[in-house]
Amino acid sequence: MIQTYHAGRHFLQIPGPTNVPDRVLRAIDQPTMDHRGPAFGRFGLELLGKLRAVFKTHGPVVVFPASGTGAWEAALVNTLSPGDTVLMCRTGWFATLWREMAERLGLAPILIETDWRRGADVPAIAEALAKDTAHRIKAVCVVHNETSTGCASHIDAVRRALDAEGHPALLLVDTISSLASIDYRHDEWRVDVTVAGSQKGLMLPPGLSFNAVSAKALAAAEMARLPRSYWDWRPMLTANETGYFPYTPGTNLLYGLNEAVSMLLEEGLSNVFARHDRHAEATRRAVRAWGLEIQCAEPRDYSSSLTGVRVPEGHSADALRAVILDKFNMSLGNGLGILKDRVFRIGHLGDFGDLQLLGTLGGVEMGLRAAGVPHRPGGVQAAIDYLAGNA
Ligand SMILES: Cc1ncc(COP(=O)(O)O)c(C=O)c1O
Q: How far is the CA of 69 from the centre of ligand 1 (A)?
A: 6
Q: How far is the CA of 112 from the centre of ligand 1 (A)?
A: 20
Atom of ligand 1 nearest to the CA of 209: 10
Q: What is the pLDDT of residues 74-119, one digit of tens each?
A: 999 999 999 999 999 999 999 999 999 999 999 999 999 999 999 9
Structure confidence at residue 6 (pLDDT): 86
Does ligand 1 have an atom closer than 6 angstroms to the CB of 69?
yes
Structure confidence at residue 2 (pLDDT): 57
pLDDT band at 159 (very low <50, low <70, confident <90, very high): very high
Structure confidence at residue 361 (pLDDT): 98
Per cent of the chain over pLDDT 90 is 98
Structure confidence at residue 1 (pLDDT): 53
Q: How far is the CA of 94 from the centre of ligand 1 (A)?
A: 7
Q: How far is the CA of 386 from the centre of ligand 1 (A)?
A: 31
Does ligand 1 have an atom closer than 6 angstroms to the CB of 334?
no
Q: What is the pLDDT of residues 1-55, one digit of tens each?
A: 556 788 899 999 999 999 999 999 999 999 999 999 999 999 999 999 999 999 9
Does ligand 1 have an atom closer than 6 angstroms to the CB of 92?
no
Q: Which of 96, 26, 347 is nearest to 201 (CA)?
A: 347
Instruction: Name the residue of 88, 147, 199, 349 whose CB sits within 8 Å of the most ligand 1 atoms, as the mutation to test its pocket.
Output: 147
Q: What is the pLDDT of residues 285-339, one digit of tens each?
A: 999 999 999 999 999 999 999 999 999 999 999 999 999 999 999 999 999 999 9
Q: Which of 280, 19, 54 is nearest to 151 (CA)?
A: 280
Read off the pLDDT of each residue in 337-358 and give the average, rounded to a whole number: 98
Does ligand 1 have an atom closer than 6 angstroms to the CB of 68?
yes
Q: Is the dihedral of CA 347, 348, 352, 358 positive or negative?
A: positive
Mean pLDDT of the chain: 97
Does ligand 1 have an atom closer than 6 angstroms to the CB of 181?
no
Structure confidence at residue 3 (pLDDT): 60
Structure confidence at residue 390 (pLDDT): 83
Does ligand 1 have an atom closer than 6 angstroms to the CB of 93?
no
pLDDT for residue 140 is more than 60: yes
- How far lies 320's CA from each of 164, 258, 349, 366, in Å? 47, 38, 21, 10
Q: How far is the CA of 92 from the centre of ligand 1 (A)?
A: 12
How far, in Å, CA of 311 to CA of 215, rounded? Answer: 46
Does ligand 1 have an atom closer than 6 angstroms to the CB of 283?
no
CB 78 within 8 A of CB 217: yes
Q: What is the pLDDT of residues 236-270, one digit of tens each?
A: 999 999 999 999 999 999 999 999 999 999 999 99
Q: What is the length of the chain?
A: 391
Instruction: Name the residue of 69, 144, 200, 304 whose CB sits within 8 Å of the most ligand 1 atoms, as the mutation to test its pocket.
Output: 69
CB 64 within 8 A of CB 210: yes
- Give the residue, by CA position, lying nearest to ligand 1 atom 8: 68
How far, in Å, CA of 245 to CA of 62, rounded? Answer: 10
CB 366 within 8 A of CB 273: no
Does ligand 1 have an atom closer than 6 angstroms to the CB of 17?
no
How far, in Å, CA of 174 to CA of 344, rounded? Answer: 22
* Residue partners of 290: CB distance under 8 A and separation at least 6: 365, 368, 375, 376, 377, 378, 379
| Cis geometry, peptide bond prior to residue 17 (ω within 30 degrees of 0) | yes
Q: How far is the CA of 197 from the centre of ligand 1 (A)?
A: 7
